[in-house]
Chain A
């Protein structure tokens, strides 16, 4: 399991696990408004880094788009370092 970010206000904690297929779970305080944007940010980042077969959990405390992307990129880098 690899993590990046935090549960502080305006941040998000990304947890990444290996999986048999790609699964994305979003738990956001603004999910009712921005679920799709968060989902797109995660999908885009996974695609640009060519990452498949991972389980992504986004615990979002109101992070902006670039913060979600940055945190996910670090989680991916940390995973790649270990794999």
Chain B
């Protein structure tokens, strides 16, 4: 479970050496878009050496590899030998790229006796938005992440703070993820200095059903964590509801003038589960 995932360019030592102190639930070490073609070997080696020699690693380590149809991916996947990578982020995820990655991973996992590597699909093509339910059913997939920059580029539309242009893609990702018990992760907000815009963008995504958001700068993490965490008010309500439910032992009852039944109790349980996981209580 995540609230925030921070992209760190794989070839940036300053960001790497602070990766464990950022307030992010996961760090995405990027070998793809943020790294120039002639620096791929530098980035790969830096991340590998960092993973092998650093004692305090981030809570979760995600590696964004290069596209599976590139000649870079085989070297990227050698980093699995560090046994420190929790998830692979698959760029331009679609039925074919996921199929190809699965085949490659099976070979590697057999060869080095590695447990199955979980995959986060980066949904950044229109065809992936259409095929999202098939991607979501794949056994390796743990989360679906929206990549709005490539998607809006393909659609030849502009991104807005209001985010109406992302309503369809966000909703498809959320429904596909939730119905398959995966985590829907929202696209980063790229206007780093616009704090009000970030708040609005986070709330838009949260209200649709996104459970986490990616960040492209550490300054975005506090806002993202706050908005994607249950509030103290919600935690207190959930605790009180669950306590009352235990006392009454009834299928349905009234609490503070409102009816509480199974779906509401499930919601309260999820709030408490998240609050415990994110150390909010």
Contact = CB atoms under 8 A, between A and B. Distances in A.
The answer to whether A and B assemble together is: yes
Interface of A: 4-5, 8-11, 63-67, 69-71, 73-74, 77-78
A5 B42 contact: yes
Given A66-B50, A66-B54, A74 B45 contact: yes
A64 B45 contact: no
A77 B42 CA distance: 10
B41 interface: yes
Interface in B37-52: 41-42, 45-46, 48-50, 52
A74 B53 contact: no
Contacts of B12: 8
A8 B53 contact: no
Given A73-B45, A74-B41, A63 B13 contact: yes
Interface in B15-60: 16-17, 41-42, 45-46, 48-50, 52-54
A71 B49 CA distance: 10
A78 B41 contact: yes
Contact of A74 (B17, B42, B50, B52): B42
Contacts of B13: 8, 10-11, 63-64, 67
A64 B17 contact: yes
A9 B50 CA distance: 17
A65 B14 CA distance: 13
A63 B49 CA distance: 13
Contacts of A5: 42
A74 B75 CA distance: 13
A66 B53 contact: yes
Given A5-B42, A65-B53, A70 B48 contact: yes
B17 A10 contact: yes
Nearest to B15: A10
Contact of B46 (A8, A65, A67): A67
